Chains A and B, each alone.
Chain A
Amino acid sequence: MGAHHEHDPHEAAPAHGRALRLGIGGPVGSGKTALTAALCRVLRDELELAVVTNDIYTTEDADFLRREAVLADDRITAVRTGACPHTAIRDDISANLDAVEELEERHGGALDLVIVESGGDNLTALFSKGLADRQIFVLDVAGGDDVPRKGGLGVAAADLLVVNKTDLAAMVGSDLDLMARDAARVRDGRPVAFTSLREHPGAPEVAGWVRGVVRAARAHGRAHANAS
């Protein structure tokens, strides 16, 4: 074998010049696509954005995003996952990497943020660090207020836990204080955001968090560039 440069393009923090990759996962119907659309609407004027959707069945999520015109068509790609959404974001990330890299090439390396929205999945789903630099896990109050207590990899380990549809809490008998306490206990102090996209379509708290991680990644990239 000759000399091979072991260049690893998938460090935990993005190297200088590549977009931050943000995974958004969570159970079916928790509001992943609505949150993705909200983030696109709020951030598209300040960041160069693209989205990869992992639809279980069809390109429905990608079509929704296009219909809503939250981003131009050439910034949205749909990936099929062979009936295994968690495999496509965790065990074998090939199809998603191909989609992300294609988007980056198409936009000349100018993207700041690529959102990878997973297919609806179970509480153990977690994005591979080879695919996502940071990840958000989305629950909704109607899924039951015992979910944070049960934990699971997504609930416990995501960089940000979003508990959505708080406007429904009273109707479905979910105790938000209990959810907050349980989430804090299993999450080791990592942040939790309670949202109602119906009442606050811009998801300000989540958008603020995303701005922060993109800023931090840029600073890291600059430090990275200065150091080399």
Chain B
Amino acid sequence: MPNDHGGSGAAVPVSLPARLLLLADSRLPAGGHVHSGGLEPAVLAGAVADVAGLAGFLRGRLATSGLAGAALAAAACAHASAEAPWAWARLDLEADARTPSPAQRRASRAQGRSLLRAARRTWPHPALDALAALREPHHPLVQGAAAAAAGGAPRDAAAISAYGAVTGPASAGVRLLGLDPLAVHRVLADLSAEIDAVAAEASRETGDWAALPATSAPALDLYAELHQGAEPRLFES
């Protein structure tokens, strides 16, 4: 099945070569394991306490910040695939505008910085070097640029970003609540079609940055802010 390199979002299944599987793999040493994607504050607030609650959280996250992040990743991938000079600072501002919570912006930038280090060592590419001028670019920008550096298309970048938007918090749920990891993976399997749909929607339009989805979740924004003052806390975000 050939990849859909047009970024048109047609319902062609993503088929990732090994270079891109590396970017999707949670073993990639890019700092993701210290972030819970807002799950820890949701657990502290009592909003998530079991597998069913986790499933609802993941579905909500995927449809909101997951979609916006995947769209930014797809746009970044298309942009990195173009010729220099790159306008990373402007796309970074688009990410800022879609991330209302200062705590979430900090978390996104921290993960962007770590992923950028990993990506530059793994898939050296001038677009990643240019992105490094921002020092701490937003995470989805680095996801997209890294996908391009690894030979991927916008649709691949969106898929990897949307996938990470749920697998990260799912893993945090296993650690924080002692949930049955098999039950959690069943939840992820049940979400697979939604992840694919979000990736397709996110990569529909990659050229007009102002028109990128700006979906967010006020509850996630609030939790992120509350989390900053929470002690004890195990995750950075």
Chain A residues within CB distance 8 Å of chain B:
1-2, 4, 6, 56-59, 79-84, 87-88, 91-95, 97-98
Say yes or no: A82 contacts B35, CB within 8 Å: yes
Contact flags (1/0) for B2-41 with A, using CB distance below 8 Å? 0000000000000000000000000101111111100000
Chain A binding site: helix, strand, loop or mixed by DSSP?
Answer: loop
Interface residues of B in 101-126 (CB under 8 A from A): 110, 113-114, 117-118, 124-126
Q: Does B175 make an interface contact (CB < 8 A)?
A: yes
Say yes or no: A94 contacts B35, CB within 8 Å: no
Say yes or no: A93 contacts B175, CB within 8 Å: no
Say yes or no: A92 contacts B29, CB within 8 Å: yes
Contacts of A81 in B (CB 8 A): 33-34, 234
A-B contact pairs, 25 of them (CB 8 A): A1-B125, A6-B124, A57-B232, A58-B231, A58-B232, A80-B235, A81-B234, A82-B172, A82-B175, A82-B234, A83-B176, A84-B33, A84-B175, A87-B33, A92-B29, A92-B30, A92-B31, A92-B33, A93-B29, A94-B34, A94-B117, A95-B31, A95-B34, A98-B31, A98-B114
Contacts of B29 in A (CB 8 A): 91-94
Say yes or no: B117 contacts A80, CB within 8 Å: no
Closest to B26 in A: A92
Taking A82-B175, A84-B33, A94-B118 as known contacts, 20 extra A-B pairs with beta carbons closer than 8 A to each other, sorted by chain A number, are A1-B125, A4-B124, A6-B124, A58-B231, A79-B34, A80-B34, A80-B234, A80-B236, A82-B34, A82-B236, A83-B175, A88-B33, A91-B29, A92-B29, A92-B31, A93-B29, A95-B110, A97-B114, A98-B31, A98-B113
- Of A57, A81, A87, A95, the most chain B CB neighbours within 10 A belong to A95
Contact flags (1/0) for B110-152 with A, using CB distance below 8 Å? 1001100110000011100000000000000000000000000
Interface residues on B, range: 20 to 34
Taking A1-B124, A94-B118 as contacts, is the C-beta distance between A88 and B110 under 8 angstroms? no
Closest to A4 in B: B124
Contact with A94, one of B30, B124, B231 (Cβ below 8 angstroms): B30
A80 to B176, CA, bound (A): 14
Q: Does B233 make an interface contact (CB < 8 A)?
A: yes
Closest to A92 in B: B29
A91 to B26, CA, bound (A): 11
A19 to B126, CA, bound (A): 29
Closest to B176 in A: A83
- Of A58, A81, A84, A92, the most chain B CB neighbours within 10 A belong to A92
Say yes or no: B234 contacts A97, CB within 8 Å: no
Taking A1-B124, A82-B236, A83-B176 as contacts, is the C-beta distance between A95 and B36 under 8 angstroms? no
Contacts of B114 in A (CB 8 A): 94-95, 97-98
A59 to B27, CA, bound (A): 26
Contacts of A88 in B (CB 8 A): 33-34
Q: How far is the CB of A180 from chain B (nearest CB, A)?
A: 37
Say yes or no: A91 contacts B27, CB within 8 Å: yes
Contacts of B172 in A (CB 8 A): 82
A4 to B31, CA, bound (A): 24
- Of B34, B114, B117, B236, the most chain A CB neighbours within 10 A belong to B34
Q: How far is the CB of A171 from chain B (nearest CB, A)?
A: 32
Q: 5 closest Cβ contacts across the A-B interface?
A: A94-B31, A94-B114, A82-B34, A92-B29, A4-B124
Say yes or no: A56 contacts B234, CB within 8 Å: yes
A57 to B34, CA, bound (A): 12
Q: How far is the CB of A39 from chain B (nearest CB, A)?
A: 26
Interface residues of B in 62-120 (CB under 8 A from A): 110, 113-114, 117-118
Q: How far is the CB of B135 from chain A (nearest CB, A)?
A: 10
Contacts of A57 in B (CB 8 A): 232, 234
Contacts of B235 in A (CB 8 A): 80, 82-83
Q: How far is the CB of A2 from chain B (nearest CB, A)?
A: 6
Contact with A98, one of B35, B110, B232 (Cβ below 8 angstroms): B110
Closest to B172 in A: A82
- Of B32, B110, B114, the most chain A CB neighbours within 10 A belong to B114
Contacts of B232 in A (CB 8 A): 57-58
Q: How far is the CB of B24 from chain A (nearest CB, A)?
A: 15
